[in-house]
């Protein structure tokens, strides 16, 4: 009876006004704790009366749908999504829900009346919603109007700030990765750094959104960060200058006969930029024999862009599947015919800063045997967040599914394990290398009959690639670079090994290809 009465009260009241008017009328309803509790009971009663009908109309099914990627589905920095066992079972009874909502009403009313300072109802409700979402996992959260607009700007590839992708860990802000050519990158901020203070104020107690907001500000303004870094004996203080962050998500370069493409994040235009760079690199007179796809320190981004980038290198087959709470929510994304590189050898480089969408791409190419994955184990974020707009009140970012590579493996909290493990190291010439006695140095040696017309020259062989060469010990002013700053430079050991691997594959193909036997007569 109470449920039916509540249902009638709620539906008759809400149907008489628009949604926005109803939201603005809530403070009037909340003028007393009794009216608030009655309103909450009415809401629950209406749900209890409607849900059984919906359950009968939409039975669970094992059918696996295939659909295009949703641009609102994003994959960002993170840890393990822990869905409690109670989420897999039936929901609480209506009576229990009444009691819990009544508890919320009591707390809400007590805060409004007795808190030491007046507090806006909107702030209380938003904080309650955000607390509910953030308690689920590190990636679910509530985005108010400003946060939602900021997120939309970021996915377009341009925003203001320091240029770091961050997440929350043990109450501190953890750097997932600095973005190339940004204030954070130039200041030497590293993946794994923990930000403990912003402008001398403790980060502990702030939400992720609040901390990010403090790091944003007017272009040209300074900000001081206190950083805790593993291996450092004491906190590190760095002063950065805020700048407009324009992300060039795709960059390319040629190392003689090896093409190099770096993707720093997956924004709306990433796939188109990648295809443009590949068309230039593999043009009519191209000498490129192999390709390196660098996904190191790539924090992820849009799911549809990860699918499209993977599709660029594949002729067919599954790229990724996402599986939600219900079997009917399973989605499978497959490649279409047309490998833009035409089967060219590919090496993908990853590290601990490669997360989410970057792991989808590397996992797909690895499982499909399309590329060799090199580097170190990736971050291990295997969950999908769906951004659900809430009208003029922002949006909620909710973890709705886990994703799986083509072979069916989940990388949640495990990461992508490279086929060839290569730690970042320093390239340095060993003392005495190239100075040993050779045949040409021996007195009375036989001459090479094919070299009669040329003077013999004995010299140390130079590296094939002038851009990747050993460091010189004579450089006294050489600055120690962070891992992120080393990427793509002449000190990038992982890149040098990837180039060696591709050249080795090229030589192997040439030596095993059918050819005329040496010395054979026509």
Active site residues: 356, 367, 381
The first and second tokens of residue 89, run together, are 């079972």
In this structure, how many other beta carbons lie within 10 angstroms of the beta carbon of residue 493?
Answer: 16
The first and second tokens of residue 116, run together, are 């030491």
The strand pair at 331-334 and 318-324 is best described as antiparallel
CA-based nearest residue to 270, from 314, 301, 296: 301
In the block, tokens 């190191």 appear at 296
Instruction: Tell me the HSE value of 53 on the side-chain side, using a 13 A CA sphere.
Output: 5
In the block, tokens 């833009």 appear at 340
Secondary structure of 230-272 as H, E, C letters: CCCCCCEEEEEECEEEECCCEEEEEECCEEEEEECCECCCHHH
Contact criterion met (CB below 8 Å) for 14 and 26? no
CA-based nearest residue to 373, from 407, 336, 338, 415: 415
Distance between CA 230 and CA 207 in Å, rounded?
Answer: 23
Burial label for 475, CB within 10 Å (0-12, 13-18, 19+), is exposed
- What Cα–Cα distance (Å) separates residue 232 from each residue in 207, 229, 245, 365? 26, 5, 29, 37
CA-based nearest residue to 385, from 402, 404, 400, 403: 400
Is 125 in a helix, a strand, or coil? Answer: helix
Distance between CA 104 and CA 36 in Å, rounded?
Answer: 10
Distance between CA 79 and CA 73 in Å, rounded?
Answer: 17
Q: Report phi then psi at 403, rounded to 5.
A: -115, 155
Contact criterion met (CB below 8 Å) for 285 and 274? no
CA-based nearest residue to 298, from 460, 424, 178: 178
The first and second tokens of residue 149, run together, are 């607009």
Who contacts 264 (Cβ-Cβ below 8 Å, separation ≥6)? 179, 180, 247, 248, 249, 250, 251, 297, 298
Compute CA 214 distance to the chain's CA centroid, rounded to the nearest angstrom: 22
Distance between CA 349 and CA 148 in Å, rounded?
Answer: 32
Q: What is the CA radius of gyration of the chain?
A: 29
């Amino acid at each position: 009876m109470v449920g039916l009465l509540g249902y009638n009260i709620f539906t008759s009241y809400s149907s008489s006004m628009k949604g926005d008017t109803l939201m603005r009328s809530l403070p009037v309803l909340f003028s007393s704790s009794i009216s608030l509790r009655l309103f909450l009971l009415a809401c629950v009663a209406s749900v209890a009366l409607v849900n059984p009908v919906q359950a009968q109309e939409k039975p669970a099914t094992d059918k696996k749908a295939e659909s295009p990627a949703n641009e609102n589905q994003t994959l960002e920095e993170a840890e393990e999504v822990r869905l409690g066992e109670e989420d897999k079972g039936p929901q609480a009874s209506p009576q229990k829900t009444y009691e819990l909502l009544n508890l919320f009403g009591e707390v809400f009313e007590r805060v409004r009346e007795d808190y030491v300072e007046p507090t806006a109802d909107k702030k209380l409700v938003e904080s309650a919603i955000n607390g509910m979402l953030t308690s689920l996992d590190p990636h679910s959260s509530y985005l108010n109007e400003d946060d939602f607009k900021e997120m939309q700007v970021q996915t377009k590839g341009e925003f203001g700030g320091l240029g770091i992708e961050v997440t929350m860990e043990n109450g501190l802000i953890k750097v997932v990765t600095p973005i190339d050519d940004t204030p954070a990158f130039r200041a030497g901020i590293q993946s794994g750094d923990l930000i403990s203070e912003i402008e001398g104020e403790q980060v502990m107690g702030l939400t992720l959104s609040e901390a990010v907001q403090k790091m944003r500000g007017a272009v040209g303004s300074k900000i001081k960060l206190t950083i805790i870094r593993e291996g450092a004996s004491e906190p590190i203080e760095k002063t950065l200058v805020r700048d407009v962050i324009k992300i060039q998500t795709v960059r390319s370069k040629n190392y003689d006969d090896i093409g190099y493409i770096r993707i720093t994040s997956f924004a709306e235009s990433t796939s188109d930029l990648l295809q443009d760079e590949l068309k230039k690199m593999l043009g009519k007179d191209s000498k490129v024999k192999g390709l390196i796809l660098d996904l190191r320190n790539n924090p992820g981004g849009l799911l549809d862009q990860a699918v499209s980038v993977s599709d660029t290198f594949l002729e067919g087959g599954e790229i990724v599947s996402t599986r939600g709470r219900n079997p009917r929510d399973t989605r499978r994304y497959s490649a279409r015919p047309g490998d833009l590189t035409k089967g060219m050898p590919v090496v993908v480089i990853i590290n601990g800063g490669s997360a989410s969408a970057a792991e989808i791409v590397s996992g797909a190419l690895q499982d499909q045997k399309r590329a060799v994955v090199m580097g170190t184990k990736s971050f291990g974020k295997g969950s999908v967040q769906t951004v659900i707009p809430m009208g003029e009140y922002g949006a909620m970012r909710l973890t709705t599914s886990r994703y799986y590579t083509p072979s069916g493996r989940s990388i949640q909290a495990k990461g992508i394990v490279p086929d060839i493990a290569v730690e970042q190291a320093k390239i340095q010439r060993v003392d005495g290398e190239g100075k040993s006695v050779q045949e040409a140095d021996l007195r009375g040696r036989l001459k090479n009959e094919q070299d009669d017309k040329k003077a013999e020259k004995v010299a140390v062989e130079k590296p094939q690639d002038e851009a990747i060469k050993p460091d010189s010990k004579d450089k006294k002013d050489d600055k120690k670079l962070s891992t992120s700053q080393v990427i793509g430079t002449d000190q990038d050991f992982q890149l040098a090994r990837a180039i060696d691997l591709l050249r080795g594959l090229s030589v192997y193909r040439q030596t095993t290809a059918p050819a005329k036997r040496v010395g054979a007569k026509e």
